[in-house]
Chain A
Amino acid sequence: DGGITQSPKYLFRKEGQNVTLSCEQNLNHDAMYWYRQDPGQGLRLIYYSQIVNDFQKGDIAEGYSVSREKKESFPLTVTSAQKNPTAFYLCASRSISEVLGMVHSPLHFGNGTRLTVT
């Protein structure tokens, strides 16, 4: 079955440590996205990538980094510079044919990773 896999589902880290969240998709999608969700709030865009080896900052990129070495993978690193890293992180994707001038395609989401930093 095609889909987006985020692992792990729950992640615990000590303050000051970097942590990497995994996102893998087998949908053959070109564009991938990372969103952050805080309790009771909507999703905010962290980073996105439309093609391999290229990515752009979203609205809240500070304290985060990404890489896009393979089409299938878009890992997110939460660095120690991120002041409030505890949150629910969602990865999403869509195909390039949908990106180019076609606004009507939805994002496909993974099941999310809940990160707790203490």
Chain B
Amino acid sequence: AQKITQTQPGMFVQEKEAVTLDCTYDTSDQSYGLFWYKQPSSGEMIFLIYQGSYDEQNATEGRYSLNFQKARKSTNLVISASQLGDSAMYFCAMREGGIGKLVFGAGTILRVKS
């Protein structure tokens, strides 16, 4: 069974507008971590933001924020004021417990239009 599901293969957003990238996950653990990474065309993986399963507040890092809905097992990434440099592949990932194995979703390609 898929642990991480990203249902949007590709998204377009107009420059300066906000965009939401969806991610749902499946786990029976009480303790887990959720991560978002950005992968530009160069291939590097850039860590964006983290949400812990026990965190009561939605995580925020600059223009990135998470809409974490624990009961629905979803953690959607919101990018505000999109920039051309935000065009990239975005991956949602989950770590169960403390082992360190990150499980990744299939990713969403975001294209920012000028």
A residues adjacent to B (C-beta < 8 A): 31, 33, 35, 40-45, 48, 50, 58, 88, 90, 92, 94, 98-104, 106-109, 111-112, 114
Interface residues on B, range: 20 to 34
Q: Return the CB mask of B73-114 against A: 1 if under 8 Å, else 0.
A: 000000000000000000101011111111111110000000
**How distant is the Cα of A35 from the Cα of B37 in the complex, in angstroms?**
14
How distant is A114 from chain B, measured CB to nearest CB, in Å? Answer: 7
Q: Is A104's CB under 8 angstroms from B33's CB?
A: yes
**Chain A contacts for B103, CB-based, 8 A:** 45
Q: Is A101's CB under 8 angstroms from B101's CB?
A: no
**Chain A contacts for B33, CB-based, 8 A:** 103-104
How distant is B107 from chain A, measured CB to nearest CB, in Å? Answer: 5
**How distant is the Cα of A4 from the Cα of B98 in the complex, in angstroms?**
22
Q: Is B107's CB under 8 angstroms from A41's CB?
A: yes
Show 19 residue pairs from A and B whose CB-CB distance is below 8 angstroms, ordered by the A residue. A33-B102, A40-B106, A40-B107, A41-B107, A42-B4, A43-B91, A45-B101, A48-B100, A48-B101, A58-B101, A103-B95, A103-B96, A103-B98, A104-B52, A106-B35, A107-B100, A107-B102, A112-B43, A112-B44
**Chain B contacts for A50, CB-based, 8 A:** 100
**How distant is the Cα of A44 from the Cα of B98 in the complex, in angstroms?**
18
How distant is A84 from chain B, measured CB to nearest CB, in Å? Answer: 18
Cβ of B57 under 8 Å from chain A? no
**Chain A contacts for B47, CB-based, 8 A:** 106-108
**How distant is the Cα of A109 from the Cα of B45 in the complex, in angstroms?**
6
How distant is A68 from chain B, measured CB to nearest CB, in Å? Answer: 14
Given A41-B107, A42-B106, A48-B101: A103 in contact with B42 (beta carbons within 8 A): no
